[in-house]
Chains A and B, each alone.
Chain A
């Protein structure tokens, strides 16, 4: 097949355009990988010369920032466990029971959830948390995140569970299992891929969130990384690029690791029903 001159030109033009867009997206990533190893990193991309771990050494020496990573982990893991467990049970109940108007419940919750974790609700949340006396605790952060993320998690999981035939649990119960046994032996393993999706999604959300911990926490030794990262800004508010780059890389590693682990272990695949 021969292309006419015009077609050829169009193809070249399209490829060039795609390449330029690709590079534009890749640039920050390349910076993100190179800058931490460069002792004189600036906002422009430069190949480190020489490669150095000096930036990391300084970051590791910053107790506040290191403590932030641990706090992020506590808050994320706590929130994820709460969200995953509560969403699974709630979604299962919503999917399997015959509560009238149960889809309305989910939709209304979904609607309000965007409010709960949104900026608009910060004042009421602040007031509630302080009147309950949970100000400046991990629990407060975990609870508020859970409240914000639960409806969406329930929504995702309910959809997933709706797609799983009821006959799994029914056959287990006829065979002698109690509803609880049927849930743990039969339903839960089949739902697990859906839960994994929710876990990853919730973790990423909490890990990267700034506003909620910033407002609900006071003491330095409770602040998560998303807040602690500001310790790499000078008094005047300008970033110390070298340290910020190194810390950002460390900060992003758990999320990358979680993705890799999940796709290795579960491959984001779904069991679903058996094809008839």
Chain B
């Protein structure tokens, strides 16, 4: 667990809901009610309820139970990188 990473300043933390626009841009739908299972502690949380750190060069989403980094998003002028090693899976309602 990387608790002491520089992005983990509690006063700067927001909710995953604050990244809803970026997530919707990537997935084409609202993702804030999508469940992520944490690969670290196996607990479930809605993406909107994750701990979000948005003041770094990218975005880091962390598990509210164990602080494990569930996903990282970095945008460059030519690409969006979404690294999600910290998620066992995402579970979302089908659209339609």
Do A and B actually bind?
no
Interface residues of B (CB under 8 A from A): none
